[in-house]
Structure 1
Amino acid sequence: MSGHIGTVARKDFADAGRSKLLWAIVGLLVALTSIGYVAVWATVDDVSGGDVLGFVALPLSVLLPVAGLIVGYMAVVGERRSGSLKLLLGLPPNRTDVVLGKLIGRMAVITTAVVLALLVALVLSIVLFGSIPLLEWAGFGAVSVLFGLTFVGLAVGVSAGVATRGRSMAIVVGIYMVFLGLWELLTAGVYYVLYDETPAVAAETWYLFVQQFNPLLTYAHLSSTILDQEVFPFLFRYGLEPFEAQGLTPAERYTGEAPFYLQEWFGAVAMVFWMVVPIAIGYYRFQRADL
């Protein structure tokens, strides 16, 4: 990493970290984690820290995408509209330094938030339940960080590729609403048009593959696999898929031995796709933009 990228990243980390809305979300995440642990400890017998760890997946799946988009959507376009970007580019940092530095700085903010929430879960597990499976905790933490970074990369890529704050907000909110509220309508709707029926549990392979590219679904599937307990995805359902399919991964819905691209681990590849591709597109457009 060049020194200029590091300089931009450190400044951007400090700037993003001053967002009151972002830290309100982080505070809510920590509060929900704490309340959940205490409530389970007070009301449920014969439960371990590992069992309760799955509870953390729900607030993370709701709040991390929102936090990632908030911290990223103004990363580049905000400086561009205020005029400070021209001043910054008049100094040693170039356009590559700006995009990568801001990406790293914003990713550091989200990583800090996730680590903080998981450290609270770790401490509460030890204090209230006496133990926690460290391997599962570390694996779940890594997947949660990747999940948050997916939305940071998506938002920073959009921010680099557009010229106005309103357009950046509209695009990132639109993409998130596709994942959250329109995914089943779009994918199962195409399936119905092609086959004149809604997807069965053992749906066509291409359809199961497409499901891997909704990060809300893949986060739930990866968390379920790591924690060995059911973690349901947070997104709207319209009854176009069988109820039995909603708790199954694409690999479990495949008849026979599932190919590698339907395995749970491939969901991490899909999340990296949503993190890297928008950055690449945004960087390409930013390099050619007339500032």
Structure 2
Amino acid sequence: MSTVTVAKKDFKAARRSKLLWAAAVVLGLIAAFVGYVSGGAPGADAEQVQRLFRVLTMILGVLLPIVALVASYLAIAGEREGGGIKFLLSLPNTRRGVFVGKLLSRNGIVAGGVAFMYVAAISVALTRHGAFPAAVIFGTLLVTLVYGSVFVSVAMAMSSAVASRSRAIAGAFGTYFALVILYLVPGVSVAAIARWVHTTLLGADANPDLYNAVQYTSPYLGYQKAVNLVLPAELRQIVFYSSLPDEISYGSAKANTALPFYLQDEFSVVVLAFWLVVPLLIGYWLFERADLE
């Protein structure tokens, strides 16, 4: 059994999950609803469609990690608890083959859900507005697929670190809270925590750039900033307001370049690459050394 065979077998098993099908349907309905109610009155207008996909990425920024984590958190842990991992490794498979096969399968499932959502959004956009701004649509699709893969990588690492479903579920909830929720609630955000430690515990002067840099370690914010790279300037989201010089307005075309380089939109490539690669390396290392008896 090769890596590809493991991936195909796992994909067929996972796609029978009613929970994943329900998630795909919900995402599709959300995309269709957003496409229908956003963008103003019907009519050919590429800018309206661009705004639609900007809103879509904001929704996906919050919901896609849930889908990716649910699709992947039991990839290894579920096999270990159920004993299936022994069967997989009793065949002519290596641990690397099983790990990579599972990774390919779970990425395929998440990518399929994203594609389904985009098809729904594109269908409504074409029907209602008759416009197809390909650069924005395919650009946001590519960034979104990378973002989904990031959380698949995180979930695979977490699944490799535990041997039971209960721990995997707890890890999935904890991961979502630590990497997404903490960046949505201003009062308890990572930036607020970093500021309190820096100014209250250490007694240092406030440094917004430092707090924003700490916050920029989140793949959620990395995704928001990466989306800016494929949007027109007028639709880009300013994330780090506190680091902008006073003379630069929020809507200025210079807003991004006025930030320190490590807070600019382009640095999101580094952030997403880190979360895409490092968890996979850790997960594979843990799986290779795990006692599966």
Provide the C-alpha distance between the structure 1 equivalents of 2:30 and 2:238, rounded to a whole number of angstroms. 17
Task: Look up the SS of the partner of 1:226 in the other structure.
Answer: coil
Shift of 1:230: 4.7
Answer yes or no: is the 8 Å Cα contact 2:216–2:263 preserved in 1: yes
Q: 1:210 aligns with which of 197, 211, 214?
A: 214
Shift of 1:8: 0.7
Provide the C-alpha distance between the structure 2 equivalents of 1:198 and 1:43, rounded to a whole number of angstroms. 52
Task: Look up the SS of the partner of 2:109 in the other structure.
Answer: helix
TM-score in terms of structure 2 length? 0.83
Q: 1:258 aligns with which of 257, 260, 279?
A: 260
1:237 aligned residue: none
Query: Once the two structures are superposed, what CA deviation does each residue of 1:200-233 show, in whole Å capped at 9, x if it has no partner?
Result: 7x723x3332222212222222223422315588
- Size of the aligned set, in residue pairs, is 275
1:75 aligned residue: 75
Shift of 1:58: 3.0
Query: Once the two structures are superposed, what CA deviation does each residue of 1:145-181 show, in whole Å capped at 9, x if it has no partner?
Result: 1111111110011111211222222122112101233
Give RMSD over aligned pairs. 3.0
Provide the C-alpha distance between the structure 1 equivalents of 2:260 and 2:54, rounded to a whole number of angstroms. 26
1:107 aligned residue: 107
Name structure 1 gaps, 5 residues minimum: 234-240
Change (3 A) 1:186 1:54: closer
1:189 aligned residue: 193
Name structure 2 gaps, 5 residues minimum: none
1:28 aligned residue: 26
1:280 aligned residue: 281
Change (3 A) 1:190 1:171: same
Answer yes or no: is the 8 Å Cα contact 1:8–1:102 preserved in 2: yes
1:92 aligned residue: 92
1:54 aligned residue: 54
Answer yes or no: is the 8 Å Cα contact 1:188–1:199 preserved in 2: no
Change (3 A) 1:25 1:129: same
| More deviation, 175-184/152-161 | 175-184
Shift of 1:195: 2.7
1:6 aligned residue: 4
Shift of 1:42: 6.8
Task: Look up the SS of the partner of 1:171 in the other structure.
Answer: helix
Answer yes or no: is the 8 Å Cα contact 2:36–2:125 preserved in 1: no
Answer yes or no: is the 8 Å Cα contact 2:39–2:48 preserved in 1: no
Provide the C-alpha distance between the structure 2 equivalents of 1:129 and 1:43, rounded to a whole number of angstroms. 8
User: Percent of aligned pairs with the same residue?
Assistant: 31
Shift of 1:198: 11
TM-score in terms of structure 1 length? 0.83
Change (3 A) 1:198 1:111: farther
Change (3 A) 1:123 1:198: farther
Change (3 A) 1:15 1:33: same
Query: Once the two structures are superposed, what CA deviation does each residue of 1:47-73 show, in whole Å capped at 9, x if it has no partner?
Result: 632222222123312221000000110
Task: Look up the SS of the partner of 2:265 in the other structure.
Answer: coil
Answer yes or no: is the 8 Å Cα contact 1:4–1:97 preserved in 2: yes
1:236 aligned residue: none
Q: Does 1:18 align with 2:23?
A: no
